Amino acid sequence: MSLRTKSHPIAGTLAWLASLLMFFPIFWTVLASFKTELGAIATPPELIFRPTLENYTEILSRADYLSFAMNSIVVSFGSTILALVVAVPAAYAMAFYPTKRTRGTLLWMLSTKMLPSVGVLVPIYLFAITTNLLDTRTALVIMYMLMNLPIVIWMLYTFFKEMPKAIIEACLIDGASQWQTMTLVLLPLVLPGIASTALLNVILSWNEAFWSLNLTAHDAAPLTAFIASFSAPQGLFWAKLSAASTMAIAPILVFGWFSQRQLVRGLTFGAVK
Amino acid sequence: MSASVATAAPKRRKGGGANANTLPLVAPSVILLLAFSIIPLIATVYFSLLRYNLTNPAIHGFAGYKNYLYLFRDPALYSALYTSVQMVVEILILTIGSAAVLASLFEQRFPGRSIARVLMISPFFVMPTVSALIWKNLLMHPVNGLIAWITRSLGLGVIDFFADWPVTSVVLIASWQWMPFAFLILLTALQSLDEETREAADLDGAGPIAVFFNVELPHMSRAIAVVLMMETIFLLSIFAEIYVTTSGGPGDATTNLTFLIYKRALLSYNVGGASAAGVIAIILANILASFMVRIVGKRLDE
Amino acid sequence: MLAATATVAQAATITIATVNNGDMIKMQKLAPKWEAATGNKINWVVLEENVLRQRVTTDISTKGGQFDILTIGSYETPIWGKLGWLAPLEFPASYDVNDVFPGVRDALSANGKLYAAPFYAESSFTLYRKDLFDAAGLKMPATPTYAELAGFADKLTDKSKEQYGICLRGKAGWGENMAFVDTLVNGFGGQWFDMKWNATIDTKPWHDALNYYVDLLHRDGPPGVTGNGFNENLALFTTGHCAMWVDATSAAGLVYDKATSQVWDKTGFTAAPHGVTANGTGWFWAWAMAVPTTSKNQDAAKSFLAWSTSKEYVELVGQTFGYTVLPPGTRISTYANPNYIKAAPFAETVKASVLTADITKPTMNPVPYVGIQYVAIPEFQAMGTEVGQLVSAALAGQTTVDAALAKAQASVSATIEQAGYK
């Protein structure tokens, strides 16, 4: 009998305990968002209480949540699409036509990710002023695209490398062009990998909190800026903070839940096999 | 392994035309990245040689190597470097260690496994600022926090996390966020472990612990290398968790290199000094990257 | 024809960067009235204090022009005004500039020109729980000393009930723990610099003050004190965990707010404690709004400033939110308003504190700088925060007071030398 075919009570219990523990902070936050301010800090903690929506109405009256959320959506998906457009050809070329410099180029790309953003704030800010891009979604889309490009290229590269090279050879010999080979043959094969790369990129862009705060004011401010306006207001703020937090993470959390299967499927394909 | 298929010989020969074709494919991203990293890099190096303070235009002119001199004379730099490394290493051990065990548990069949998995990976979707705020205010707060209430009820007194265990607290919060990432990758790696190997181990009468160490862990080694590299890249520049909870303190206990640069750039508005520290960070990143080529890169190319 | 186009062109959209505290949130809620009256529109950028400060400083110093109105403090206003970054303000007679406390006006002026309109001003004072004092048979004097405060705190601490004798700021930052620590040091007779800009931190007054601070908080303070700033202390005090609290006078309206405070009817107010001197023992701070010279909508921006800091606005707040929460500390007329006097028993104490705080005489001995809980030079933010970090390290027990002060002295000396003050 294989271990995997029968239910395993001890492993199951431990796994469930760990999962509940990991999820608990999120659950606790959502719970607190429905309490009154005094209820949220009561000791012993309130477990049974009459839920209130007052925190949510208060927040909605103070901030245009939909505008923040819309910016988050546009910016994270926009930058992901743009990153893929640039990265797919590059990763393809690197995987199938490696040169001596390929590995060096890849690692150099990855190392650019380690430069702390705050170190280049002033040059980028000055650049954004001269190009009139301050407080535009375009600026954030470009920044995120560039920021995540190394990771995207690298992940795609590992996916492409798993592809059977014989197929490509055959196509090229048959007289198909590079472009046809790439779009008609290869793309369907690596689609799960691309999907999971894209998902990861959306999550990373959604949660980025430095450029989103520093390059926006009002028009392009995403949810990370929204949360910065509720992070430490005066007086009792635990319940309102919880409500604002819930609102900031709910869209991406739900998105993540629905796409996690895809994320797993894609990852199995490439890098880690 | 597919190594035999991947002999480079045939395509090298066809070389000329194909290679020429790849240039337009790679060029956009390389040019973009080059522009992205080179232009700020040049600007950063240039600024690092200036006396440049945003809030005090009276300070201007060429500083030469002075900014670097002040930086290297500042003991804060060395403690920040140490803190950076300490945090990354601790988070890596914590996340990869627990993720490996959990991935192995999730390889077993049990009721509600897919729901448990969804719960398990949820923290990864939470933005760092929010997760730090949640942990600081709702859980670790020494008066109103849930953990304080639990320890008090058990008669253990109160743990003042951010004063007594500042680094550990930041590490815990960051690990909570990054463990799901490691878990996800290790889990997918384990799923590719073939059934025969497992069954062979079962037939040998190996217990679950032996299977974990002798079969599963070796199988995950490449995935672990991937996690190691990806997490290092992200964790070296960990910032929001520190900013929200301890602001680099108490003292400079939780000031890592990123936070030090932040202090220079956005508290002193000392662009010259911050740029000098930024240049150091870039150099370090490249040294680290070249190490990674050697350690991780090899594993990946196998 | 021309006149008509001119009026149409006046309708503008202005972007206001502001801080997320109670008074500003009220302003945000009332602003639609101004929008309706003028036809202009406001884009709000509401941020947490530290983020706000970084955001507006980056923008104004690089001439980014993102904001038409900045919410800044009495620290930045004169510095930025002198640099020519802010547009000077002139108000119509109806605004009655002379109704604004002269000290507040001076603090927001440079070279004789007003650069920011005060939204509210604050000093620091002592809040205490009358019920706990009565129960223990103690009496709070009108002008308490630090020694007396320590005595009370020892008697009123009962950790088994989570009742702490005194709550003070411990979170590192020039506007957080250092605001209090500076007034404490001033009271002990210390200062940041002597007349030649030599740092005077590793001196007896600083040592005495910090030893007092660390010992007192260890004995009688709440746990987690190194994480407590104004907001955290407010939460502790309003939920009944603190017997005394020395902090901003703007806490008064919030502590008195029945909706969020459990101690609104049990709280007394008195002057900030003093030591060997009373100079600089209560701080001075004003949140104000300024128009950067890069703004393209200066007229609309100035019109909003005039409205949101006017007498009419103060009255509007009273009518809408109740008179307890009027923006305090800026206008003489506010303190002559019978509704306010009736609704806010702390009004006189606050007024007295704001009026006594003199930013030009912050210490016992003469100093080359102005500012009570800050030194009005651009380098102070970083310097104050650096020293604040060291103080919080001493408070957390990670280093000794002596070591922290020696380090602070070295770091401040280096900064001031690099900046070329000496």
Question: ipTM of this model?
Answer: 0.86
Q: Which CATH superfamily is domain C2-122+285-344 in?
A: Periplasmic binding protein-like II (3.40.190.10)
Asked if residue C323 has pLDDT above 60, the reply is yes
- C4 has pLDDT over 60: no
The reported pLDDT for the residue numbered B115 is 92
- The CATH number of residue B197's host domain is 1.10.3720.10
Stretch (H or E) spanning C45: strand C41-47
| DSSP per position, A209-240 | -SHHHHS-SSTT--HHHHHHTTSS-SS--HHH
* C-beta atoms of C224 and B54 within 8 A: no
CA distances from B170 to A125, B253, B258 (A): 29, 11, 14
Residue A222 carries which side chain, given as an amino acid letter?
Answer: P
Q: Which chains touch A (3 or more CB pairs under 8 A)?
A: B, C
Tally of CA atoms within 13 A in the half-sphere of A5 that contains its CB: 6
Q: Sorting pLDDT into bands at 50, 70 and 90, what band is A267?
A: low
Q: Which tokens belong to C7? A: 């009026």
What is residue B28's DSSP assignment? Answer: H
Quick check: A235 and C234 CB within 8 A? yes
Per-residue tokens: A173: 């010999």
* Rg of chain B in Å (alpha carbons): 24
In terms of Cβ atoms closer than 10 Å to its own Cβ (0-12, 13-18, 19+), residue A142 is buried
Does B257 contact A at CB distance below 8 Å? yes
Look at residues C172, C166, C177 and name the one whose alpha carbon lies nearest to residue C219.
C166
Question: Is some CB atom of chain B closer than 8 A to the CB atom of C54?
Answer: yes
pLDDT of residue A1: 40
- C192 CB-near residues (< 8 Å, 6+ apart): C182, C199, C200, C201, C367, C369, C375, C412
Q: Tell me which H or E stretch contains A150.
A: helix A137-162
> Nearest to residue A217, comparing CAs of C53, C31, C59?
C59
Q: What share of chain A is helix, strand, coil (3-state, %, to 5)?
A: 75, 0, 25
- Chains in contact with B, where contact means 3 or more Cβ–Cβ distances below 8 Å, are A, C
On whether any CB of chain A is under 8 Å from the CB of C15, the answer is yes
Specify the pLDDT at position A258: 86
Question: At CB < 8 A and 24+ separation, what contacts does A58-61 make?
Answer: A58/A240, A58/A243, A59/A230, A59/A240, A59/A243, A59/A244, A59/A247, A61/C29
Q: Identify the CATH class of C124-283+357-418.
A: alpha beta
* Contact check, Cβ <8 Å, B129/A97: no
Band of pLDDT at residue B2, cut at 50, 70 and 90: very low
Q: Which of A77, A76, A55 has the alpha carbon at shortest distance from A65?
A: A55
- Rounded to a whole number, what is the distance in angstroms from the first to the last CA of chain B? 9
What average pLDDT does the segment C45-69 reach? 89
How far apart are the CA of C251 and the nearest CA of chain A, in angstroms? Answer: 9
Residues of C in contact with B56 (CB under 8 A): 378-379, 419
Which chains neighbour C (Cβ–Cβ under 8 Å, 3 or more pairs)?
A: A, B
CA distance B137 to B144: 8
What token pair was written down for C290?
A: 């300024």
User: Do C260 and A231 lie within an 8 Å CB cutoff?
Assistant: no
From C81, which residue of chain B is nearest by alpha-carbon distance? B55
Triad A261, A264, A267: Cα angle to 5°: 150
The token pair that represents A222 in the structure block: 């995403």
CB atoms within 10 A of CB C394: 25
Top-confidence range, A172-181, B5-14, C282-291: C282-291
Between A98, A111, A253, which is nearest B122 by CB?
Answer: A253
What mean pLDDT is predicted for residues C391-399? 92
pLDDT at position C283 is 93
Q: Does residue B90 register a pLDDT over 90?
A: yes
Name, in order, each residue with C-beta under 8 angstroms of A71's C-beta and a sequence gap of 6 or more.
A137, A140, A216, A220, A221, A222, A223
Report the C-alpha gap between A70 and A73 in whole angstroms.
5
Name the residue ranges covered by the structural domains of chain A: 59-269
Domain that holds residue B265: 75-301
Flag whether pLDDT at C2 surpasses 70.
Answer: no
Does residue A273 surpass a pLDDT of 60? no
How far does C235 lie from chain A, in Å, by closest CA? 5
Residues of A in contact with B274 (CB under 8 A): 118-119, 122
Residues 6+ apart with CB under 8 A from B241: B128, B131, B132, B170, B173, B174
B6: pLDDT strictly greater than 80? no
User: Residue A202 has what pLDDT?
Assistant: 93
Q: How many domains does chain B have?
A: 1
B266–chain C nearest CA distance, Å: 6
Say if the Cβ atoms of B105 and A114 lie within 8 Å: no
pLDDT of residue A236 exceeding 90, the answer is no
Radius of gyration, CA atoms only, chain A: 23
Residue B97: Cβ within 10 Å count: 13
Neighbouring CB atoms inside 10 A of B90's CB total: 18
Domain spanning A59-269 has what CATH number? 1.10.3720.10
Residues 218-237 of C with CB under 8 A from A: 229-231, 234-235
Neighbours of B46 (CB within 10 A): 12
For residue B50, the 8-state DSSP code is: B
Average pLDDT value over all residues in chain A = 84
Enter the tokens of residue C2: 């021309």
pLDDT of C374 higher than 90:
yes
The SS3 of residue A15 is: helix
Q: Looking at chain A from residue 77 to 116, which residues have their Cβ under 8 Å from any Cβ of chain B?
A: 86-87, 89-90, 92-94, 96-99, 103-105, 107-116
C-alpha span between C322 and C342 (Å, rounded): 11
Cα C179 to Cα A71: distance, rounded to the nearest angstrom: 38
Question: Mutate which of C16, C42, C55 to test chain A, going by most A C-beta atoms within 10 A?
Answer: C55
Contacts 24+ apart (CB under 8 A), B15-18: B18/A97, B18/A172, B18/A178
Q: Within an 8 Å CB–CB cutoff, is residue A235 touching chain C? A: yes
Q: Which residues of B touch A164 (CB under 8 A)?
A: 2, 5
CA dist B214 → B200, B202, B207, B225, C44 (Å): 12, 12, 10, 18, 59
Measured distance CA(C212)–CA(C206) in Å, rounded:
10
Alpha carbon distance C183, C274 (integer Å): 9
User: pLDDT (tens digit, 9 = 90+) per residue, B228-282?
Assistant: 888 888 888 888 899 888 888 788 889 998 898 888 888 888 888 888 888 888 7
Domain ranges of chain C: 2-122+285-344, 124-283+357-418
CB contact under 8 A, C396 and B270: no
A11/B208 Cβ within 8 A:
yes
Q: Which residues of A touch B17 (CB under 8 A)?
A: none
Of C312, C344, C346, C345, nearest to C331 by C-alpha is C312
Please check whether residue C233 touches B, CB under 8 A.
no
- B 195-214 residues with CB < 8 A to A: 195, 198-199, 202, 208, 211
The whole-angstrom distance between A125's CA and the closest CA on chain B is 11
Q: Is the peptide bond before B250 cis (omega within 30 degrees of 0)?
A: yes
Give the ranges where B49-127 is alpha helix by DSSP (H): 66-73, 75-106, 113-121
Q: Does residue C379 belong to the interface with chain B, where contact is any CB pair within 8 Å?
A: yes
Mean pLDDT of chain B: 81
* Residue B271 near chain A (CB below 8 Å): yes
Residue C126 CA to residue C128 CA, distance in Å, equals 6
* pLDDT tens per residue, range A29-77: 999 999 988 888 777 787 888 899 999 998 898 888 999 999 999 999 9
Residue whose C-alpha is closest to residue C269's, from C122, C142, C123, C126:
C126
